[in-house]
Structure 1
């Protein structure tokens, strides 16, 4: 019934069916059940190609989001970040809320040993990079670390080499945005 209703579309376009089942092999061999033979005859006139489905990787998902979401200049994306470190582990979390309310959540584990402040810097970088990947032009970044946000704004002075490197990296990454608030 679907093939009959979509006949003009099927005849004028090349169709690719992504599937993990052996559908392509079944549809191209004659030693199948009577119902499958009917389907094979019915669909045989169309240009249908069967391909195996591949796994969606993080970059493919990011590419998809950047293609599908085209924010306007006035749209503000909210980026919430938090990082934590202890003697055994370090992890960071990012939640991005689009102007229309959709949420994108990201959790990362850092394998190297870092201080709690360094974990906060890492999560700010992860939030900025993710916002760039999805095409946000204006963001407001929310962090519970007053030290980090005030150092980024220039209110507090950064004294350590690693802190200065993080600040320089954050400043260079955030230049792409037409608006960035902390």
Structure 2
């Protein structure tokens, strides 16, 4: 991992959590010009807190790529996750190893990338989005986009990143105010 040049870097703040109320991910992407893209995602299946944190990192990587970033710095308040990704801590659990493998493979699409641990108070926006996703996961699906886990524990293979991701219509709407031709899908994207 190389430290990207400051003028071209996209900053990606991520947070994930799991509770009895649900599982969620919050991502805040900040462009080199300071523009923000915020994602609050509810995870359909139950995951551990560590798995939710890894899901947040994967979502951040994929979303940053979708908006055209070529250099990113990921920020997470999870010491375990950041240190495992950096190789400081060893991942012993099979699921953690799968997440690490997938993250390292997908992060290679960037010219430069790194991950840094930050204090929880510096990750407030991603934390708030994650909390919203968790609290709304069983109450309302209108304000939170639901996604399946990026890795399924029953599968042995690492899932590839699809060329046309579920985020593509959202990104097109956010960046270019472009909506799908299907009226129902367009309304969903607007919400």
SS at match of 2:46: coil
Residue 77 of structure 2 is aligned with which of 144, 147, 159? 144
Q: Indicate yes or no: 2:13 matched with 1:80.
A: yes
The answer to which structure, 1 or 2, has the higher relative contact order (CA under 8 A, 6+ apart) is 2
Counterpart of 2:104 in structure 1 is 171
Which of 32, 42, 58 aligns to 1:125? It is 58
Instruction: Please give the secondary structure, in 2, of the residue aligned with 1:177.
Output: coil
Q: Deviations over 1:104-160 (max 9, x none)?
A: 000100010100000000000000000111110100100000100000000000001
User: Aligned residue pairs: how many?
Assistant: 111
In the TM superposition, residue 181 of structure 1 has moved relative to its aligned partner by 1.1
Q: In structure 2, list runs of 5 or more residues that go unmatched.
A: 116-191
In the alignment, the residues of structure 2 paired with residue 107 and residue 86 of structure 1 have an alpha-carbon distance, to the nearest angstrom, of 16
Q: Under a length normalisation based on structure 2, what TM-score does the superposition of the two structures give?
A: 0.56
SS of the aligned residue for 2:52 comes to helix
Is 1:89 aligned with 2:18? no
8 Å CA contact 2:61–2:107 kept in 1: the answer is yes
Contact 2:73 2:114 in 1 (8 A): yes
Given that 1:138 and 1:177 are in contact with CA atoms closer than 8 Å, whether structure 2 keeps it comes out as: yes
Per-residue CA deviations over 1:82-121 (Å, capped at 9, x if unaligned) read: 0110123000100000000100000100010100000000
Indicate whether 1:101 and 2:34 are aligned.
Answer: yes
Deviation >2 Å, runs of 4+: none
Please, what TM-score do these two structures have when normalized by structure 1?
Answer: 0.59
CA RMSD of superposed structures (Å): 1.5
* Match runs of 1:16-55 below 5 Å: none
**Contact map agreement 2:72 2:113 (CA 8 A) in 1:** yes
Task: Name the SS for the 2:33 alignment partner.
Answer: coil
CA distance in 1, matches of 2:112, 2:46: 32
Contact 2:7/2:32 (8 A) holds in 1: no
